């Protein structure tokens, strides 16, 4: 496929409306404006439309393909949320507009959205206060670890270590390390945290534990109450990685079971686009003892009902992002929560868990599942049996691309060899899940009968099997 510049023909232009002369000078001083026209491709409107339409067909996306991407909750993004985020009353706001009186009337609605969304997330998670500023899940993790450090510093605690189970989310160790902590990894037992392993490393220097619950194996931590008591016994804090909240949404409130700080992924649990489909958002909630340390600024409601940004928090960790986070993402999540309501959010977790267990049972006689018991929103299978014939997890994943399905997460978590982490989410139909199972089983049969065919996958995609090491070192971005 030619690039858009290769398709350019001199003099071939789309019709356009000429701007009034001198318009640019109304916005920028002359020394900042271009003195010569930009070197843009010259094409008709039809050719431009066809070019970008063809490009879109070369991509996988949640609007066109099934995404059983474990740990990442790649579910459907309702289109009404995009309409809310595009309302001119929000998109035309400038972050430096006044807050109160006069021009402040324009910003009161946006500030109210932030205030109300924080309140809704408090109710959903059982926390006492939130910041919406973190711009991704890992950014939320770092913010949470910084809040934990600020709490211990204020109390004069000498805490140097954070515990991260081997079944936790992959970015937890780096977030703890960037916040200045030494990371202690404890091994799981039968897929969940082993309290005895926790006791072995627990001392007064432990600042807390970072947990993913349910964990990356899709299993709920059944020793949770004991873990909470152990960590709190040394004045440690419990951090809840909300990447998997989709599994317990409306069913478990992290704050009520003992967690002190929690981050959420609006781009996972609350339906907003994920990854290259749009920016992320990783709000962080805390209980009362951590609330004084939240980032500034914070939205407060004054006695007259107006909303105002307050900066006077002497124990705050300060700024962690410019302005107020990814506001358009917040709008989408706000609309999603209001549209579904309490009963709708409960059905999200119910259907997510049902779908995952449906796939698990359908595949258990064809694929090794190390922890084959009732799971939450995802489960981890293993291609160890297929690997004995030379077909590895990555080969199966590539073969699924040929079938029109995006691949499950492979080789994570590290505690399962040749793992395939599968998460169907709540938004997929039974027919889609059945098609996925049929295609998966067909690939497993091919792995038995014709392993070289599977190892050559994908064969029907715009770019076929790559030498991934070479591709990483010698990228060719134009195809």
CATH number, domain with residue 253: 3.40.640.10
Residues 6+ positions from 342 with CB-CB distance below 8 Å: 250
| DSSP assignment letter at 275 | G
**pLDDT at position 61:** 85
Asked if residue 282 and residue 423 are part of one domain, the reply reads no
Q: How far apart are CA 299 and CA 102, in angstroms?
A: 19
Among 102-106, 164-168, 270-274, which is the least confidently predicted range? 102-106
User: Tell me, what CATH number does 383's domain have?
Assistant: 3.90.1150.10
Asked if residue 377 and residue 313 are part of one domain, the reply reads no
Q: How far apart are CA 112 and CA 383, in angstroms?
A: 50
Coil, strand or helix at 264: strand
Q: Is residue 72 part of a domain?
A: no
Q: Is residue 239 part of a domain?
A: yes
Asked if residue 362 and residue 402 are part of one domain, the reply reads yes
Q: How far apart are CA 78 and CA 330, in angstroms?
A: 14
Asked if residue 315 and residue 269 are part of one domain, the reply reads yes
**Among the three residues 57, 72, 93, which one is the final residue of a domain in this structure?**
57
Say if residue 478's pLDDT is above 60.
no
Structure tokens at 126: 């059982």
For residue 383, give the nearest of 448, 439, 432, 436 by alpha carbon: 448
Q: Is residue 79 part of a domain?
A: no
Could you tell me the CA-to-CA distances from 92 to 84, 87, 143, 220, 323 in Å, in that order? 13, 9, 29, 44, 16
**Among the three residues 313, 339, 365, which one is the final residue of a domain in this structure?**
339
Say if residue 392's pLDDT is above 90.
yes
Band of residue 188 on the pLDDT scale cut at 50, 70, 90: very high
Q: How far apart are CA 206 and CA 187, in angstroms?
A: 17
Domain limits for position 228: 84-339
**pLDDT at position 58:** 87
Q: Is residue 479 part of a domain?
A: no
Sheet with 379-382, strands from edge to edge, namely 379-382, 419-422, 409-410
Of the CA atoms within 13 Å of residue 393, those in its CB half-sphere come to: 23
Asked if residue 405 and residue 374 are part of one domain, the reply reads yes
Asked if residue 464 and residue 359 are part of one domain, the reply reads yes
Say if residue 55's pLDDT is above 70.
yes
Count of positions (residues) in the chain: 479
Q: Is residue 243 part of a domain?
A: yes
Asked if residue 392 and residue 315 are part of one domain, the reply reads no
Asked if residue 333 and residue 394 are part of one domain, the reply reads no
Band of residue 276 on the pLDDT scale cut at 50, 70, 90: low
**pLDDT at position 258:** 97
Q: Is residue 71 part of a domain?
A: no
Q: 475 or 313: which carries more pLDDT confidence?
A: 313
Q: Is the pTM of this model over 0.75?
A: yes
Q: How far apart are CA 397 and CA 387, in angstroms?
A: 13
Band of residue 477 on the pLDDT scale cut at 50, 70, 90: low
Among 58-62, 167-171, 337-341, which is the least confidently predicted range? 58-62
Cβ atoms of residues 421 and 363 within 8 Å = no
Cβ atoms of residues 357 and 372 within 8 Å = no
For residue 376, give the nearest of 350, 345, 337 by alpha carbon: 350
Asked if residue 47 and residue 132 are part of one domain, the reply reads no
Asked if residue 28 and residue 96 are part of one domain, the reply reads no
Cβ atoms of residues 390 and 384 within 8 Å = no
**Among the three residues 339, 361, 395, which one is the final residue of a domain in this structure?**
339
Q: Is residue 74 part of a domain?
A: no
Give pLDDT tens digits for 225-239. 999 999 999 999 999
Interior/surface letters 20-38, b for 16+ CB within 10 angstroms, e for the rest: eeeeeeeeeeeeeeeeeee
Of the CA atoms within 13 Å of residue 352, those in its CB half-sphere come to: 35
Total domains in the fold of the chain: 3
Band of residue 467 on the pLDDT scale cut at 50, 70, 90: confident
**pLDDT at position 479:** 47
- What is the DSSP secondary-structure string of 282-332? --EEE-TTTGGGPPSPEEEE-TTS-EEEE---TT----SSSTTS-HHHHHH
Asked if residue 240 and residue 193 are part of one domain, the reply reads yes
Residues 6+ positions from 337 with CB-CB distance below 8 Å: 117, 120, 124, 270, 345
Averaged pLDDT score across all residues of the chain: 92
Q: How far apart are CA 11 and CA 42, in angstroms?
A: 7
Say if residue 23's pLDDT is above 70.
no
Whether a cis peptide bond, with omega within 30° of 0, leads into 458 is yes
Query: Residue 63: how many CB atoms within 10 A of its CB?
Result: 11
**pLDDT at position 319:** 95
**pLDDT at position 275:** 67
**pLDDT at position 134:** 96
Q: How far apart are CA 195 and CA 189, in angstroms?
A: 9
Q: Is residue 363 part of a domain?
A: yes
Asked if residue 353 and residue 318 are part of one domain, the reply reads no
Cβ atoms of residues 208 and 236 within 8 Å = yes
Q: 95 or 432: which carries more pLDDT confidence?
A: 432
């Amino acid at each position: 496929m030619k690039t858009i510049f290769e398709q350019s023909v001199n003099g071939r232009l789309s019709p356009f409306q000429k701007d009034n002369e001198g318009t640019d000078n109304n916005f920028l001083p002359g020394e900042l404006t271009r003195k010569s026209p930009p070197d843009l491709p010259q094409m008709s409107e039809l050719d431009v439309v066809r070019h970008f339409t063809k490009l879109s067909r070369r991509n996988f996306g949640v609007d066109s393909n099934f995404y059983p991407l474990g740990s990442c909750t790649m579910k459907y993004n309702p289109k009404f949320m995009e309409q809310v985020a595009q309302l001119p009353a929000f998109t035309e706001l400038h972050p430096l507009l006044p807050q109160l009186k006069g021009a402040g009337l324009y910003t009161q609605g946006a500030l109210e959205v932030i205030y109300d969304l924080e309140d809704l997330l408090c109710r959903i998670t059982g926390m006492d206060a939130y910041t919406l500023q973190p711009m991704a899940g890992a950014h939320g993790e770092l913010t949470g670890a910084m809040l934990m450090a600020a709490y211990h510093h204020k109390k004069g605690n000498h805490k140097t270590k954070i515990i991260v189970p081997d079944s936790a989310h992959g970015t937890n160790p780096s977030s703890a390390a960037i916040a200045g902590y030494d990371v202690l990894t404890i091994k799981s037992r039968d897929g969940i945290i082993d309290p005895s392993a926790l006791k072995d490393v627990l001392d007064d220097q432990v600042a807390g534990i970072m947990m993913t619950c349910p964990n990356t194996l899709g299993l709920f931590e059944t020793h949770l109450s004991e873990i909470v008591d152990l960590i709190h016994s040394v004045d440690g804090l419990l951090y809840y990685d909300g990447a998997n909240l989709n599994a317990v949404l409306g069913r478990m409130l992290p704050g009520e079971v003992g967690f002190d700080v929690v981050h959420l992924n609006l781009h996972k649990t609350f339906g907003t686009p994920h990854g290259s489909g749009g920016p992320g958002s990783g709000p962080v909630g805390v209980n009362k003892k951590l609330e004084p340390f939240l980032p500034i600024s914070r939205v407060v409601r004054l006695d007259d009902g107006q909303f105002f940004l307050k900066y006077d928090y002497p124990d705050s960790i300060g700024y962690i992002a410019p302005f107020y986070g990814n506001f358009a993402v917040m709008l989408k999540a706000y609309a999603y929560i209001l549209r579904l309501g309490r009963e709708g959010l409960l059905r999200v977790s119910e259907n997510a868990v049902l779908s995952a267990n449906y796939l698990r049972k359908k595949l258990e006689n064809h694929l090794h599942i190390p922890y084959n018991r009732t799971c939450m929103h995802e489960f981890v299978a293993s291609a160890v049996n297929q690997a004995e014939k030379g077909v590895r997890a990555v080969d199966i994943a590539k073969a699924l691309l040929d079938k029109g399905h995006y691949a499950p997460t492979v080789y994570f978590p590290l505690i399962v060899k040749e793992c395939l982490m599968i998460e169907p989410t709540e938004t997929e139909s039974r027919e889609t899940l059945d098609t996925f199972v049929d295609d998966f089983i067909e690939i497993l049969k091919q792995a038995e009968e014709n392993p070289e065919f599977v190892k050559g996958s994908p064969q029907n995609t715009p770019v076929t099997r790559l030498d991934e090491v070479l591709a990483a070192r010698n990228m060719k971005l134009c195809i």
